[in-house]
Amino acid sequence: MISIYRKRKHGPDSTWKFTTFQRVNFRKSDILSGLTEENVIGSGGSGKVYRVVVNDSNNFVAVKRIWNNRKLEQKLEKEFHAEVKKLGLIRHSNIVKLLCYSSWGCPGALLHARYLSQNKISGPIPEKLGNLACLTVLDLSENQLSGQIPLQLGLLKLTLLNLSSNHLTGRIPTQFENDAYASSFLNNPALCANKPSLNINSCNNSDHHKSSKFPSKYLPLIISLGAAALKSLVVAMISIYRKRKHGPDSTRKFTTFQRVNFRKSDILSGLTEENVIGSGGSGKVYRVVVNDSNNFVAVKRIWNNRKLEQKLEKEFHAEVKKLGSIRHSNIVKLLCCMSNENSKLLVYEYSKNHSLDQWLHRNNGASSTSSSVQHIVLDWPKRLQIAVRAAQGLYYMHHSCSPPIVHRDVKSSNILLDSDFNAKVADFGLAKMFKQGELATMSVVDSSFGYTAPEYAHTTRVNEKIDVYSFGVILLELTTGKEASYRDEHTSLAEWAWRYIKDDIPIVDALDEEIKEPSYLDEMSSVFNLGINCTNTEPSKRPSMKEVVQILHKCNQPLVCGDWREDCCKFVRCFSPPQEFKAQ
């Protein structure tokens, strides 16, 4: 780790690996000094080609510099060197000779400065730390560091930064003003930021103006202290690293369940307020661009106000691993999980058309939501298709997983729609984690008012029938266009719909006027009836998700023999309403 720094200190070319395949009469410095723009003779997708004079003569070599915007993993780096070595052994008069190969990178591993906390290190943070491109972990917490945080640190691709409990002053670099660094700057009273969620003071113009004068006034002192502090850091890194060589890894644990084409740093850098597309009792959801393209992922940052006990931490990871193993076209894919003791990030595939509730109720508060959601009304065929596919996702969880997975938080905002309006169930399993780890308060239940089965709200008893109840509410939303908490927070849509059964009011009067066409009335009425049966107050009288899927498939079939609607209605009517709701 320290050898990397020392090599950099004594010159840039000292870190270059130099492998020859022929006898050469030039030095590394000859090659490096010739990599100037005036020597470029070609450029393409893989890199630039230079004509370089060597050995202080008129002898030239062609140097190809390959673009390397991201560091190769250690395994791939070894494969690359092996392949180049094989090419260097080729000898043929009609094949261009590969004379040598030079490379620069992070030998062996990325640099982790993780053992520098609680070492009474004083003075400012050296700006030259920003030159350590291989540095990914920097923990300088609980020291006596002072002065401003160098802007150069913002250029690093850090997966963990901890500068808490020091005497730092001024504004933090803007690159760190996102939720990934919410615990990085605690207990520094003189630090400030524009982002309230970082849990430090808010900056104002006067403070910023005052702090901007500080460096120029004390510049000579800062330079001398910086040099001394840098020397102290190097010595500390050598001694402490040797002592605690086998200490615990403080980086985020990165567990993938699918093949992913992004890095941890891509996710962390995207956790900014402008990327928030949703927020609730369990946490915030961000839309994050990955892989330097227009590809997006959805990142759920779970609130973690208290640290989990070791046993619960293991249960959390076991539960996430189980959820990550699920493969179904109507269930949102969990791509990976990133976690440390301060926060947990679940990375999902991104659904372009957002959630069902935004289309049904125009609840598109997120700025990134497509404007089309505000104006286009989902017609009945599309709504029926969404009902069928969402039901298939829940059916898989209840009847194809062993043991069965109970969602516990089925609602229209957890039914996501891809670019083809294919419905996918999201956020399954999270409610169970919150209960075990006490990561959330009753706000999780409050946010689901209107969807919660009576027995779950009163006794917290859990089985598949609580999901059936919630899905029945979604069916009522699809057929009536009304929200689950109809009229006010004390009257649910299910209670309102059941009055049509109790008072023997024609069901047609309850259907959504915007899409109620004569050709759709039978289908809509059948699905409304199914929603009524799913929301029966007696769990034993609710259908299973297998039966729900069978009914919806019948309703979704084209008219062939003329008796399918009768079969569908018979199936629906076989679940009779409770006695208290029957017409008098």
Annotated binding residues, written as ranges, equal 300
Query: Could you give the 3-state DSSP secondary structure of residue 60?
Result: strand
Query: Could you give the 3-state DSSP secondary structure of residue 426?
Result: coil
- Cβ atoms of 138 and 128 closer than 8 Å: no
Q: At CA 160, angle to CA 243 and CA 239, rounded to 5?
A: 15
Beta strands in 163-316 (DSSP E): 167-171, 190-193, 201-202, 253-256, 276-279, 283-290, 295-302
Task: Give dist(CA 157, CA 172) in Å, integer.
Answer: 16
Q: What is the dihedral of CA 351, 355, 359, 362, to 10 degrees?
A: -120
Task: Give dist(CA 466, CA 532) in Å, integer.
Answer: 14
Task: Give dist(CA 185, CA 161) in Å, integer.
Answer: 9
- Asked whether the CA dihedral 143, 147, 152, 157 is positive or negative, the reply is positive
Q: Which two tokens stand for residue 272?
A: 């900014």
Task: Give dist(CA 574, CA 565) in Å, integer.
Answer: 14
Contacts 24+ apart (CB under 8 A), 510-519: 510/479, 510/480, 511/479, 511/480, 512/479, 512/480, 512/481, 512/482, 513/481, 514/377, 514/481, 515/377, 515/378, 515/379, 515/380, 515/383, 515/481, 517/380
Q: At CA 412, angle to CA 526 and CA 383, rounded to 5?
A: 40
CB count within 10 Å of CB 244 equals 11
- Cβ atoms of 136 and 158 closer than 8 Å: yes
CB-based contacts of 417, cutoff 8 Å, min separation 6:
351, 352, 353, 354, 355, 356, 359, 386, 423, 424
CB count within 10 Å of CB 304 equals 19
First CA to last CA distance, the chain: 82
Which residues are known to be catalytic? 409
Alpha helical stretches, state H, 294-449: 310-324, 356-361, 372-375, 380-399, 430-437, 443-446
Q: For residue 18, which of 72, 94, 88 has the smallest C-alpha distance?
A: 88
Task: Give dist(CA 473, CA 61) in Å, integer.
Answer: 73
Crossing angle of helices 493-502 and 521-534, in 10° steps, is 110
Annotated binding site for ATP: 300
What are the two backbone dihedrals, phi and then psi, of residue 190, each rounded to the nearest 5 degrees?
A: -95, 0
Alpha helical stretches, state H, 18-68: 28-33
Using left for φ > 0, alpha for ψ between -120 and 50, and beta otherwise, residue 56 falls in: left
Burial label for 484, CB within 10 Å (0-12, 13-18, 19+), is buried
